[in-house]
């Protein structure tokens, strides 16, 4: 493989790593193996620190393909805790409100999920990288300032209930670029006349790239040893 010319690598992002942590780890090890000071490495589709799963890295000229990969359909398995919300809609922030869940049934959840299938409008989380007048939304949110985010149009191709253990449910979602699963969790909680936040999220597929095709950070050295072109 010619990483300086351009290659595409599939990674499985670990829990509590940022997407940039994965890119930096791969870039550092790659530059050391190649004996170069600089090499271009980018990624297609950021995952939150509390999310795991498929990340696509591009090196060299293959970074021109980042938009192509970002536009591909994504699949997620999300675990939601009903009856409580957090400002970030996941475990990054502490619970700020609690709600009743006694009225919620498995059938109610199944029926409610179907209301999100198709083309929908979604307001992104305040704690997100959305641009607001040249600033990231999370920068404003961390300062306690209101971040007026506009709804975005997106598509949910598939959504289903995988497991129901009230107050915890697990769902599978197949969706378009730009979907915030954290925001979907918020909206599902509201639709159930309760609250909800993510307690786990795994991106299981990007286009045709599935988890079984992905490297863990621990695999990088062996992968590079086996795939760097030698004369």
Mean pLDDT of 167-174: 98
* pLDDT confidence band for 231 (50 / 70 / 90): very low
How would you class 99 by CB atoms within 10 Å of its CB: exposed for 0-12, middle for 13-18, buried for 19 or more? middle
What contacts 188, CB < 8 A, 6 or more positions away? 80, 112, 113, 116, 171, 196
What contacts 33, CB < 8 A, 6 or more positions away? 224, 225, 228
Question: So what's the pLDDT on residue 147?
Answer: 65
Tens digit of each residue's pLDDT (9 = 90 or more) over 100-136? 999 999 999 999 999 999 999 998 876 655 555 556 5
Mean pLDDT of 154-162: 98
48 catalytic per annotation: yes
CA angle 201, 202, 207 (to 5 degrees): 135
Tens digit of each residue's pLDDT (9 = 90 or more) over 214-225? 999 999 999 999
62 pLDDT above the threshold of 50: yes
**pTM, rounded to two decimals:** 0.90
Q: 24-28, 90-94, 134-138, 210-214: which range is least confident on average?
A: 134-138
Query: CA–CA distance from 12 to each of 172, 203, 209 (Å)?
Result: 18, 9, 11
| CA neighbours closer than 13 Å in the CB half-sphere of residue 204 | 11
| Catalytic entry in 48, 212, 219, 221 | 48
The CA distance from 154 to 188, in Å, is: 16
- Determine the 3-state secondary structure of 163 from DSSP: strand
**Token pair for residue 163?**
């497991």
């Amino acid at each position: 493989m010619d990483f300086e010319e351009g290659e595409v690598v599939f990674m499985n992002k670990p829990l509590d790593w940022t997407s940039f942590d994965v890119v930096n780890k791969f870039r550092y090890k790659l530059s050391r193996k190649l004996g170069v000071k600089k090499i271009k490495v980018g990624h297609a589709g950021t995952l939150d620190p509390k999310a795991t799963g498929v990340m696509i890295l591009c090196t060299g000229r293959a970074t021109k393909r980042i938009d192509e990969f970002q536009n591909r359909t994504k699949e997620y398995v999300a675990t939601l805790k009903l009856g409580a919300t957090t400002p970030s809609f996941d475990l990054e922030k502490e619970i700020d409100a609690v709600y009743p869940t006694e009225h919620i049934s498995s059938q109610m959840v199944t029926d409610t999920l179907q209301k999100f299938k198709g083309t929908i409008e979604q307001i992104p989380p305040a704690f997100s990288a959305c641009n607001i007048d040249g600033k990231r939304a999370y920068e404003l949110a961390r300062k306690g300032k209101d971040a007026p985010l506009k709804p975005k149009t997106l598509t949910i191709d598939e959504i289903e209930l995988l497991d129901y253990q009230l107050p915890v449910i697990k769902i599978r979602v197949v969706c378009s670029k730009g979907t915030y699963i954290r925001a979907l969790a918020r909206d599902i909680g509201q639709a159930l006349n309760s609250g909800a936040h993510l307690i786990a999220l795994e991106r299981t597929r990007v286009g045709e790239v599935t988890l079984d095709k992905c490297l863990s950070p621990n695999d990088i050295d062996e992968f590079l040893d086996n795939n760097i072109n030698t004369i």
